[in-house]
């Protein structure tokens, strides 16, 4: 009995922590419609700022509260600054670009934090008053966690009061529904948006500060926190604060039960619950339908390349084929990377462009392919050709199963769910040390003798990647490809002429996942290993950048984007230690300069490329 | 009070308004008449700033507002009541009204929820009802009342009689005449000639984005050719 109680209290405490982060995210989304990827970074900064402030304060409860308050205010100011300098300029950009821009901020904050506070985890020794325990039914329970438990409902109640009992709150609720109408009634949206963003950031800061005594300020907070917050916000319903609290309780409760019953399955459990909730309520527990906004903006039809361009392609491919005759092996290594990148980008493009389904976690399929290949080669002792066959099959099957759950969702839910799914795959790879070796990865997955030489492996890679990409192109212009595009552009009409649009979308996700899986498998053999980083968020973003760089409207886009991006990032990595900061700044700059998307910016010029 | 000159507006590449012009004054009702798709709503949206005009001038109360943002235009005293009503469905009647509240305007007696409940008694009975759980007629009254909370000197009303029961239309008619009596100017977009006839002083007939006829309401009624050509269905 006492054990159950202490589990329940632990769950309530972690529900509070989850809710504090998610509440800020959901309030910001409700009004601005921006999914703020950098919300976790604000939480992380909250932890670091709190560490710096609290270190210089006396260690009594009043000073602690003062320090937390100061952190909250500091983050509010920072959030307001972020809104005024960056977000304000991208409210009209397609959702995917907004997500990408805020990811640029994530990268910049990471490097800045590393630069200011250093790489070590920073924790504060708990003051005596925090170390106390309460004995409940013979179980000792940390006093601080009781405060945390209270913090969730208190913040929920305060938010409710502010949103329902003040003019500002009424304006926010009205703007959540129809910000244009609010403007027509004489309300300056800019002030509203900046203050909303400041409030959301303050909540993130509060969450970071309050989590500090139980853990540490470290560089991993940003992505881990934002993924959890995405899950909570999606389950609760985008924009709904009470929904976020309900979802936090649900997730935390499940984790508490899961840890007791099946410790290994908690992450999967979370995802299954999310899938179940969204199947029954596609807008989350308390959410309402989000107006279908442009994920990428309107796309012109994808046309086949002109004959001239095809010849350029043939010549280019020929050059690639002949390269080993002259090029040294390090060039071939970059060539292998580039070929894999092309297939990976083309697979994402297939899902995002013609399929119209944004994916912010495409690395999931890449990683599943990589691990499937590595595990077949090591555990099953399968020969490489079989491993290369099993990998795309595994990635495709899992992608299809995932697709079956999510295809009915609108763009922004889809983007967040793909990301969450990729994070879960990452966590599984990271945690299942017995099978995947965890952080140490799976090593020694080298190609067999007959393709071991750099030139031969390069040729094999080229054949598979070029073949895979051409196959994707073939599907695009086959009746299936037309059906996929029809369901993207006019789902209702596609249904009306008898196309099973959901099934077609599942097929599109499957094909895309299988192609990404093949890319991952080749990558594994090229490097002789598989690591959790193959599934990390930065890899998903790599693919997105390649596709968006090259343009979504054409099949050549992702190819050019992949080649350009591989070359550029290689240069960047060599040139500076602050490559994350530079990359982040470059992403932000790109979105600011081309808020309609790069493809949109050049659409007029390259016509039917 | 409101002067529109050579107004051109586009939706993407589609050219919707072709040099529309008219003048509306305080304390009178001007009606924009025309068939579905003639460009009446786009004209109102261009005036309030929801559609950015590609060229032309709009002067309100001495300010050029053709490229101003909606909230600035609204604060100058130009109210907009959209055809779709756009009620905040999660907010109660009273909260909807509060969102519309702006500071009092010199020379106008400020609107309060109480005064509006007197103007639209139906709303008074529903103060705590969420906007989403109201009938179409009640929503139409609420959207007008909400705009009045901003104490506008002029109101743009987009098809307020559309799809409503005659009893409700009568109340809205009474409200328009009451506003006019207070000196508020009204620009009404309508295709319902019977309704327009009862409230309007002057008319501008719009066809395919062009102002094709304008003059007094009485003159329009005496001109069957204009009826047949531009208004008959």
Residue A545: pLDDT above 70? yes
Residue A607: pLDDT above 70? no
Q: Which of B51, B65, B75, B86 to probe by mutation at the A interface, max A CB count within 10 Å?
A: B86
Among A520, A608, A588, A544, residue whose Cα is nearest residue A98:
A588
- Residues of chain B contacting A183 with CB distance shorter than 8 Å: 69-71, 74
Decide if B77 touches A, using CB distance below 8 A. Answer: no
Question: How many Å lie between the alpha carbon of A484 and the closest alpha carbon of chain B?
Answer: 26
CATH of A330-573, one of 1.10.530, 1.10.1060, 1.10.3470, 1.10.10: 1.10.3470
Residue A352: pLDDT above 90? no
Place A525 in a pLDDT band, splitting at 50, 70 and 90: very high
pLDDT tens, A217-265? 999 899 888 888 988 998 998 888 999 999 999 999 888 887 777 766 6
Please compute, for residue B176, the number of CA atoms within 13 A of its CA located in the half-sphere on the CB side.
30
Number of domains in chain B: 1
Residue A609: pLDDT above 50? no
The lowest-confidence range among A141-145, A262-266, A518-522, A541-545 is A262-266
pLDDT tens, A11-33? 999 999 999 999 999 999 888 88
- Residues of chain B contacting A170 with CB distance shorter than 8 Å: 91, 95, 98-99
How many Cβ atoms from other residues are within 10 Å of residue A532's Cβ?
21
- The ranges of chain A annotated as CATH 1.10.3470 are 330-573
The lowest-confidence range among A105-114, A255-264, A458-467, B166-175 is A255-264
Write the CA distances from B150 to A193, A520, B91, B154, B165, integer angstroms: 21, 60, 18, 11, 27
Question: How many Å lie between the alpha carbon of A604 and the closest alpha carbon of chain B?
Answer: 14
Who's near A87: CB < 8 A, 6+ residues apart?
A: A32, A34, A36, A98, A101, A102, A193, A197
pLDDT tens, A269-314? 777 788 788 778 878 888 877 655 445 555 556 666 777 778 888 8
pLDDT tens, B138-152? 999 999 999 999 999
Query: Nearest residue of A to residue B89 by CA position?
Result: A177
Q: Which of B68, B92, B100 to probe by mutation at the A interface, max A CB count within 10 Å?
A: B100
Mean pLDDT value across residues A589-598? 72
pLDDT of residue A604: 40
Place A34 in a pLDDT band, splitting at 50, 70 and 90: confident
Decide if B130 touches A, using CB distance below 8 A. Answer: no
pLDDT tens, A107-116? 999 999 999 9
- Which position has the higher pLDDT, A419 or A349? A349
Share of chain A above pLDDT 70, in %: 94
Place A438 in a pLDDT band, splitting at 50, 70 and 90: confident
- Residues of chain B contacting A180 with CB distance shorter than 8 Å: 50, 70
The answer to whether the complex's ipTM is over 0.90 is yes
pLDDT tens, A60-91? 999 999 999 999 999 999 999 999 999 888 88
- Residues of chain A contacting B41 with CB distance shorter than 8 Å: none
Residue B95: pLDDT above 90? yes
- Answer whether A278's CB lies under 8 Å from A409's CB: yes
- Residues of chain A contacting B101 with CB distance shorter than 8 Å: 167
Who's near A519: CB < 8 A, 6+ residues apart?
A: A340, A341, A343, A344, A347, A366, A369, A465, A468
Q: Which of B89, B95, B131 to probe by mutation at the A interface, max A CB count within 10 Å?
A: B95
pLDDT tens, A156-208? 999 999 999 999 999 999 998 888 999 999 999 889 999 999 999 999 999 99
Q: Which of A180, A185, A188 sits opposite B99 (nearest CB)?
A: A185
The lowest-confidence range among A154-158, A583-587, B28-32 is A583-587
Mean pLDDT value across residues B203-212? 93
pLDDT tens, B181-202? 999 999 999 998 889 999 999 9
* Summary mean pLDDT of chain A: 87
Place B233 in a pLDDT band, splitting at 50, 70 and 90: low
Kindly determine whether residue B150 and residue A186, on different chains, have CB atoms separated by under 8 Å: yes
For residue B142, what are the domain limits?
2-231
* DSSP alpha helix (H) spans, A93-220: 95-117, 143-165, 167-184, 189-211
Place A571 in a pLDDT band, splitting at 50, 70 and 90: confident
What's the order of all strands across the beta sheet hosting B185-190? Answer: B78-81, B154-158, B185-190, B29-33, B202-207, B210-216
Kindly determine whether residue B90 and residue A177, on different chains, have CB atoms separated by under 8 Å: yes
- Residues of chain A contacting B88 with CB distance shorter than 8 Å: 173-174, 177-178, 181
Scan for tokens 């507002």, then name that residue: B65
pLDDT of residue A302: 62
Give residue B104's region: left, alpha or beta (phi > 0; psi -120 to 50): beta
Query: Nearest residue of B to residue A172 by CA position?
Result: B99
Please report, for the domain that includes residue B56, its CATH number: 3.40.50.300
End-to-end CA distance of chain B: 33
State the pTM of this model: 0.84
């Amino acid at each position: 009995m006492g054990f159950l109680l202490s589990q329940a209290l632990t769950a309530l405490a972690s529900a509070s922590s989850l809710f504090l982060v998610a509440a800020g995210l959901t309030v910001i989304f409700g009004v601005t419609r921006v999914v703020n990827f950098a919300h976790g970074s604000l939480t992380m900064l909250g932890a670091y700022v709190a560490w710096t402030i609290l270190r210089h304060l006396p260690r009594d409860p009043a000073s602690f509260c003062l320090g937390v308050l100061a952190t909250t205010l500091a983050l509010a100011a920072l959030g307001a600054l972020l809104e005024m300098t960056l977000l304000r300029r991208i409210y009209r950009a397609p959702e995917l670009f907004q997500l990408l821009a805020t990811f640029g901020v994530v990268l910049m904050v990471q490097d800045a934090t590393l630069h200011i506070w250093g790489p070590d985890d920073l924790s504060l020794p708990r003051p005596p008053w925090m170390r106390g325990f309460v004995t409940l039914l013979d179980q000792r329970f940390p006093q601080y966690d009781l405060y945390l438990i209270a913090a969730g409902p208190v913040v929920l109640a305060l938010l409710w009061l502010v949103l329902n009992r003040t003019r500002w709150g009424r304006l926010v609720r009205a703007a959540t529904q129809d910000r244009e109408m609010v403007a027509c009634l004489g309300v300056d949206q800019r002030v509203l948006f900046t203050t909303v963003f400041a409030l959301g950031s303050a909540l993130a800061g509060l969450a970071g500060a309050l989590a500090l005594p139980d853990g540490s300020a470290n560089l991993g907070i940003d992505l881990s926190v934002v993924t959890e917050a995405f899950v909570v916000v999606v389950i609760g319903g985008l924009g709904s604060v009470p929904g976020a609290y309900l979802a936090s309780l649900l997730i935390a409760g499940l984790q508490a039960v899961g840890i007791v019953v099946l410790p290994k399955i908690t992450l999967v459990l979370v995802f299954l619950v999310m899938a179940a909730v969204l199947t029954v309520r596609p807008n989350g527990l308390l959410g309402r339908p989000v107006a279908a906004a442009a994920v990428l903006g309107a796309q012109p039809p994808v046309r086949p390349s002109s004959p001239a361009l095809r010849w350029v392609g043939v010549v280019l491919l020929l050059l690639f084929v002949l390269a080993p005759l002259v090029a040294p092996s390090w060039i071939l290594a970059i060539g292998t990377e580039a070929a894999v990148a092309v297939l990976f980008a083309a697979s994402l493009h297939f899902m995002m462009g013609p399929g119209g389904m944004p994916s912010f976690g495409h690395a999931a399929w890449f990683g599943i392919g990589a691990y499937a290949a590595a595990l077949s080669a090591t555990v099953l002792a399968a020969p490489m050709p079989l491993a290369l066959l099993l990998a795309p099959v595994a990635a495709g099957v899992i992608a299809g199963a995932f697709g079956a759950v999510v295809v009915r969702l609108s763009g922004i839910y889809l983007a967040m769910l793909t990301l969450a799914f990729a994070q879960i795959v990452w966590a599984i790879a990271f945690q299942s040390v017995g099978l995947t070796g965890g952080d140490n990865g799976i090593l020694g997955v080298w190609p067999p003798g007959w393709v071991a030489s750099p030139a031969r492996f390069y040729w094999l890679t080229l054949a598979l990647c070029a073949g895979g990409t051409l196959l994707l192109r073939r599907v695009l212009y086959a009746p299936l490809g037309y059906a996929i595009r029809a369901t993207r552009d006019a789902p209702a009409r596609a249904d009306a002429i008898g196309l099973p649009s959901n099934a077609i979308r599942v097929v599109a996700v499957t094909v895309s996942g299988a192609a990404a899986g093949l890319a991952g498998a080749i990558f594994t053999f090229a490097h002789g290993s598989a690591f959790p980083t193959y599934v990390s968020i930065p890899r998903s973003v790599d693919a997105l950048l390649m596709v968006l760089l090259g343009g979504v409207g054409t099949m050549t886009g992702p190819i050019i984007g992949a080649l350009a991006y591989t070359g550029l990032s290689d240069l960047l990595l060599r040139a500076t230690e602050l490559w994350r900061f530079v990359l982040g700044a470059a992403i932000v700059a790109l979105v600011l300069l081309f808020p309609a998307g790069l493809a949109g910016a050049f659409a007029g010029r390259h016509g039917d490329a | 009070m409101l002067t529109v000159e050579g107004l051109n507006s586009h939706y993407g590449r589609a050219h919707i308004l072709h040099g529309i012009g008219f003048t509306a004054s305080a304390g009178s009702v001007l009606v924009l008449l025309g068939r579905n798709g003639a460009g009446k709503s786009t004209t109102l949206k261009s005036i309030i700033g929801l559609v950015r005009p590609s060229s032309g001038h709009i002067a309100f109360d001495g300010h050029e507002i053709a490229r101003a943002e909606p909230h600035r235009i609204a604060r100058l005293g130009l109210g907009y009541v959209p055809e779709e009503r756009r009620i905040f469905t999660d907010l109660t009647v009273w909260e909807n009204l509060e969102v519309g509240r702006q500071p009092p305007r010199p020379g106008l007696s400020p609107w309060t929820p109480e005064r509006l409940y007197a103007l639209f008694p139906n709303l008074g009975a529903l103060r705590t009802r969420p906007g989403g759980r109201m009938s179409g007629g009640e929503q139409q009254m609420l959207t007008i009342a909400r705009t009045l909370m901003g104490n506008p000197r002029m109101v743009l009303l987009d098809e307020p009689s559309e799809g409503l029961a005659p009893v409700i239309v009568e109340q809205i008619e009474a409200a328009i005449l009451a506003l006019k009596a207070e000196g508020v100017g009204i620009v009404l977009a309508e295709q319902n000639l019977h309704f327009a006839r009862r409230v309007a002083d002057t008319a501008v007939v719009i066809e395919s984005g062009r102002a094709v006829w304008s003059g007094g309401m009485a003159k329009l009624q005496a001109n069957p050719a204009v009826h047949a050509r531009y208004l008959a269905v």
